[in-house]
Structure 1
Amino acid sequence: MTKKKIMIPIMSIMLATSSMTAIPSLTSVNAAQAVKEAYTYQVETQEGKQYIVLTDYKGSEEKITIPDQINGIEVKSIQDGFGKNSKLKSITLSKNIASEKDTKRSLAGLNQITTLEEIQTVKDNAAYQSEDGILYTKDKKELVAYPKSKKSETYVMPSEVEKAGELSLANLKYLKNLTFSKKIKIIPECSNSSIENVIIPDQVKVIDESTFDTCKNLKKVTFGKNITTIGDGAFANCTALKTIKLPNNLKNIEEIAFVNTSLKSVIIPDSVVKIGASAFDKDVKLKKPSYLKKIKKTGGAVYYEARATVKTSRKKTSYKAAKITKIRANTKKVTLKKGKKAKIQTKIFYAKKLKKGYLDPSILKFTTSNKKIAAVSKYGNIKGVKKGKATITVKLRTSGIKYKVNVVVK
């Protein structure tokens, strides 16, 4: 793509029209007389063909329709910053507005117009469609722009949507209830919005940093079951947030994730391996697994990290749980009589190397295939209940690494 850089005033264009056979190269030209609106634009060339990119709207109208052409050249795109300082409430995209693939430009700039209440498209636009005043790609797989001043309080994202444009849901003035599509994998930034209730689908694994920063009205968050990471400042300054139920597969809560909220107590799932420094306010009571150890950084900041304690006859050694690559039992089969007990002991491989001693069971989860045959305690103690066979599964809580022990009760 090449950009033309010659500045030509409107009057000059009009005077020269009678003698010109080719369209001049233009950039940042006021096209008010050509389209009866106060637009500025630039002409670009791609594969030898010229088209126009609108750079700004300087008019006073609240409702506009993007022109098909200016001076015989198709208007194909809108640049970031277009209408940013206007009073626009409604924009209708013409048939020639082309896709990002064709112009190498997205329409994300529409998300910068704070007064905008709706975005419409004409029916024969091949690249985009509008539904309820919200802009999507034609196949509806991407949310392109959500008007910042749209007055609807509830938005249920269409099921076809797989991704959303950057800042498409940030700085929304009226939206209260937000439900994402079940197909979306990355939550766009929603910061500084009026959202009170948000539902995050199971497809999402990471909530990126600052995603809901300064959503001061946010009261309820429903997390998808597969979220593993809550990023830096993801819910910082959500001052109305009083309670949360964190998902059971969560691994990391990063720094200042929930700072400056109204949380008083939080239950930390036993899958968590790390809580970053100042993730919660100092007065928040954390009910957390015993293997999450408090660690002080240089400078005094405190964070929590999952540590596995291995005991030998002489000492105890603490290892980072995240670096345990394998666990195994001291025996693969246990045989005991009805009413008798046995204990499972676990060895670890740390960075693929077997370590001496046995693992403190507090970081392990024990389950039995048949508690009527063999019961197992949270410390790995097996009790024979009646004659038969059962399987005990032992899993490292922080990673899902596991092994099995066959039990025979005689």
Structure 2
Amino acid sequence: MNIKKKALKAAAFIAAVTMTAGISLPSQRGAISAPVLSAYAEETGTEGKSGALTYKKYSDHVEITLCDKSATSVEIPASIDGVPVTVIGMYAFQISKIKSVTIPNTVKEIGHYAFNNCPDLTSVTIPDSVEKVGIRAFEYCKSLEKVEFPDHIIEWNTKVFEDTPWIAAQREKSPLVIVNGALLDGDKCKGDVKLGSDIKYIASGAFQRNMDITSVVVPSSVTVLRDNVFFYCTSLTSVELNGVTEIGSMAFDGCNKLTDLKLSGKLKTIDDMAFPDTSSQATITFYGSKDTWEKVKKPTDDPFLKNAKMVFDESHVDPVDDLAGDVNMDGEFNVTDLLLFQKWLLGDTSAELKSWKAADYTKDEKLDIFDLVLMRKAIIIK
């Protein structure tokens, strides 16, 4: 390994530790090695004040950079001097006394640690305009019990809601915390995990440091395995990535029991740092030809890939991710599923459909009485 490679690995490791170990640097804004979330970080802006808020104004947008730590209720303006507010910057509200905050429907990005350690914040509404939420943005918000989400998938970074009552309550309901097709957290999963096709996105670090999972099957609906997803999952032995086209940095860092890895024939890119400190000798099954594998952009000197036994399976067909009718995803379709779906349609809040697509008999991407009728017929025929 040359000096440049060693330096790259060291820098990446420091970034991963910062992102995954919950290290916050409230008084050293320039010291963090994690990447800046904002797409506008390279530009210069004009600093100004608006009430309790400090901001930077650019030609086409405004970024909130700081909030008065003593403020308890803040309404972020939709625009300042006619320029839209689109970014809440890194650390902007960190360790403040806010109890409530209104985020306008102009904000596109909420930065790393933006609301980290706001112990009095009780609820937050993330508006439809938001596209990205940064690393541990709401971590240690010890009173945060209510979160309202837009109805689309957001680019979630690592452990956004860690150590909040909200994430604790979601983990009690299910070991998989899923919001509008995005898997935010799998911290409480154990053993063999099969994700349903209702999941379209897996957040960075979703399973990181989970030492209880042994295998994971990722459906073809997920096309990107983001950074740190399986970071130091030390009991993980098998992973199947049915539709993944891109594997991110440190996705499998420290997975030293990983001996069975199945990769989609659609794979295009493996990050140079996808497998650092992963020393196991694995069998990699690639669902495509050797020629296709050779075209995948990947590191040429990665020990994990170099030592692996390669198997090429050109006949592979993606498995059916959801058993029709199996809304509780226990591997069977029976009367229990029918009754659960009926309760859900009647508005029973205790009824949770782990796979809503399994109930979509009419294939119109919405659930109603027509699906229930067809499910009932399917039970009778069965």
TM-score by length of 2: 0.43
- Give the structure with the larger helix fraction: 2
TM-score by length of 1: 0.41
